[in-house]
Structure 1
Amino acid sequence: MADFPNLSRRGFINRSAAVGGLLVVPGLLSACSKADAGAADGEGALDKLRKQGFVRVAYANEAPYGYMEGEELKGEAPTLHREIFKALGVDELKPTLSEWDGLIPGLQAGKYDVVSAGMAITPERCANALFSEPEFISPTALMVRKGNPEELTDLASAKAAGVTIGVMSGAVEGSYAEGAGIPESKIKTVQKPQDGADAVKGGRIDAFLLTGISLRWLAKTNPETEVTEAFVPELDGKQQFSPGGAVFRQGNEDLRDSFNRELKKIVSDRSRYVGLLQEYGFGATEIPPATLKTADLCKG
C-alpha cells in the first residue's frame, strides 16, 4: 500500500488531464458496447447484477478509500458500496485491483462494473464515465502538535498567528494557503504526508495542511500530533469541497440512478453515514451538502 496515496484523487495543481484514466484508449468504446449488450436486449445493468449475485468493483489499494487488509476489501468506498448494493439486491462485491490511471479505461473495457475508489468528480472524468452523486467531501484541516499550542482553527487563524504551514509539493493546499494570504516565506513544502507529520513533531513547521480525512488517518500512527476540526477553504471566493463518488460505465444510467437513490438515504442520515465510515476517518464534516450536485461539478 502506498504511503498515503489519496493525493491522486484530490488532484495536483499542474496535473495532466490524462491522469485518472481521462484518455479514451482506442478500442475501449467497442469493448464497452459489448459489455453492455444486455441493455440492448431489454435487460438493464442492475438486472444483470441481481441475476449473477455480485458486482465487480475496482479499487486502487489506497487507504482509507479502498484497500485490501488480508483477504478483506475495506475502506470508505467498498463499505458504502457494499451497503448500497445489498439494498439493491446484490449481496457481494468482487474486487479487482487497478493502478489509479487504469481505473476508468478498465471500466470502459468492461473489466468491472463500478470504480470503488473514492475518485474525485471532475469535468474531464465526467466526459468518459458516469459519476454518482457525491459520496463525501474532503474539507481541509491542520495537523498540529499535541495540545495545539498556537490554538489554530483554520487558515485565517494561521495567518493571524504568523505560523509556518507545511503543504504537499505540487498539491492544491499550497494554493489554499496562498489564497488565504499566508506569505510565501511561511509556506514550506514536503514530499510525503509522513514528512509533514515529522516536520510538525520536530517543530520545523507549526501546522501541516491537508484534507481532514487524510490527516485523521495519518494521526493514528503519529500520536504526538492532533488534528483540528475540518473546514472548507475558499479559493477566489469559491468553496473547495473536493467531492468524490462512485464511477459507472457510460450507458449504465439505470445502475447509476438506482445507486444514487440508495446513496441519498445514507447521506441524508447523519448517524448512519458516520456509523458506517468513521472507522476510516469520515465524519459529519465529510457529508456532502444536499445542494452539491454531480451535474454541476461535471460542468466545472
Structure 2
Amino acid sequence: MADFPNLSRRGFLNRSAAVGGLLVVPGLLSACSKTDAGSADGAGALEALRKQGFVRVAYANEAPYGYMEGKQLKGEAPTLHREIFKALGVDELKPTLSEWDGLIPGLQAGKYDVVSAGMAITPERCANAIFSEPEFISPTALMVKKGNPKKVTDLASAKAAGVVVGVMSGAVEGSYAEGAGISKDRIKSLQKPQDGADAVKGGRIDAFLLTGISLRWLAKTNPGTEVTEAFLPELDGKRQYSPGGAVFRKGNEDLRDAFNRELKKIVSDRSRYVGLLQEYGFGATELPPTTLKTADLCKG
C-alpha cells in the first residue's frame, strides 16, 4: 500500500505543484502510432478501447486516490473509473505506475489512455491535457485528539480557541489558516502527514489541518485521534473546493465526453457515489456541486 508521505504530493498543495515536467517535447504527440493499444485519437478512441477490451490507466501509488495493494489496483480513481469504463463497454483497467511529475508527460507520449490518480484540476494542467468534470472535491478538516478537547470544528473556532494548528510545509492549508486570522506563531509546519498525526497525539499541536479525505485515511492507523466534519475554507471570499478528476490526452475529447456522461450518473446519485468510495474515506461531503465545472476551473 502507498506510504502516507505520498499524500503530501497530491497536487492540492499549491497551484503549481507537480506542474514541472509538463513541457510538450516536439514530435512527442505524433510519435504515438494509432496501431498501439488504446492510442487511437478522436472519435475512434472509445471504439478502439472496446475492441481491445481494456483501458490503460496511470496511477502514482498514492493512497487513497490510486494505489496497488498486492496485485489489485485500488483507490478512489480506479474504483470510479472501473465502474465508468465497464458502463462504456471496456471491462478491464491495465495499470501503469508513474511518478507524479511524469503522469501528464506519459499521457502525452501515449503510454496510457487515462490518468487515474485523483489529479487536481488547475489551469496549468489544463494547458497540457483535458480533464473530466470533477469527480470529487476536497473539503478541509482538522485532526484532533480523541474527544476533541478544544472543541474546534473549523478555522474560525480554532482561532477563537487560540489553538496551535499544524499544516504541511509549503501546503495551501497554511494560507487557509492565515486567511482565517490565525497568527503565524500559532501555525506549525510539518513535513509529512504522519508527522501531523504524531504531533496531535503528542500534544505539540492542537489540530492538524489537511483535506478531510487524507485525514480520515490517516486516522485509520492513528488511534487516539479523530477528524472533524469537513468544511470549505475561504480565501479572498472564495470557497476552496480543491476538485480532482480523470485526465485524458488532447484529441480524445469524445472519449472524455463519454466518460463524463457516465460520471454524471454516479455523482448525481449520492448513495451510489458513497457506496463506491466510502472505503477510501470519500463521502457525501466530497460530492462535487453541479455548478462546479471544469471549463471554469481551467480558466482559473
Contact map agreement 2:12 2:120 (CA 8 A) in 1: no
Residue aligned with 1:95, SS: strand
Aligned equivalents of 2:186 and 2:40: distance in 1?
A: 59
- Contact 1:145-1:225 at 8 Å conserved across structures: yes
- Please tell me whether the aligned partners of residues 59 and 117 of structure 2 are also in contact (alpha carbons under 8 angstroms): yes
8 Å contact 1:6–1:65 — kept in the other structure?
A: no
Contact 1:28 1:105 in 2 (8 A): no
Runs of 4+, deviation exceeding 3 Å: 5-18, 32-43
Deviation of residue 86 (structure 1)? 0.3
Rounded Cα–Cα distance in structure 2 between residues aligned with 1:269 and 1:76: 16
Paired position in structure 2 for 1:145: 145
Unaligned 5+ runs, structure 2: none
1:28 offset after TM fit, Å? 1.6
Taking the aligned partners of 1:39 and 1:23, their CA distance within structure 2 comes to 20
Q: Which runs of 5+ in 1 are unaligned?
A: none
**Alignment coverage as a number of residue pairs:** 300
Residue aligned with 1:32, SS: coil
* Aligned counterparts of 1:79 and 1:13: Cα–Cα separation in 2: 24
- What TM-score do the two structures reach when normalised by structure 1? 0.94
CA distance in 2, matches of 1:114, 1:238: 30
The 8 Å contact of residues 28 and 108 in structure 2, kept in 1 or not, is answered as yes
How has the CA–CA distance of structure 1 residues 5 and 262 changed in structure 2, closer, same or farther, with 3 Å as cutoff?
Answer: farther
Structure-2 change in CA distance of 1:176 and 1:42 (3 Å): closer
**Are the counterparts in 1 of residues 233 and 240 from structure 2 also a CA contact under 8 Å?**
yes
Q: Contact between 2:136 and 2:287, CA under 8 Å: does it hold in 1? A: yes
Distance 1:43 1:54, change over 3 A: same
Q: Secondary structure at the match of 1:55?
A: strand
Q: How far off is 1:8 after superposition?
A: 5.5
The answer on whether the counterparts of 2:56 and 2:94 sit within 8 Å (CA) in structure 1 is yes
Compared with structure 1, are the counterparts of its residues 160 and 109 closer, same or farther at alpha carbon in structure 2 (3 Å cutoff)?
Answer: same
Identity %: 90
Distance 1:42 1:104 in 2: 18
Distance 1:269 1:6, change over 3 A: farther
Deviation at 1:66, TM superposition (A): 0.5
Q: Is the 8 A contact 1:9 1:120 kept in 2?
A: no
**1:5/1:112 CA distance change after superposition, 3 Å:** farther
TM-score (normalised: structure 2): 0.94
Q: Does the 8 Å CA contact 1:31/1:108 hold for their aligned counterparts?
A: no
The root-mean-square deviation of aligned C-alpha atoms, in Å, is 2.2
Instruction: Report deviation, 1:223.
Output: 1.1
**1:286/1:43 CA distance change after superposition, 3 Å:** closer
Out of 192-201 and 27-36, give the one that drifted further: 27-36
Using the TM superposition, give the Cα deviation of residue 248 of structure 1 relative to its aligned residue in structure 2, in angstroms. 0.4
After the TM superposition, which of the residue ranges 37-46 and 175-184 deviates more from structure 2?
37-46
**1:295 match:** 295
Shift of 1:27: 2.9
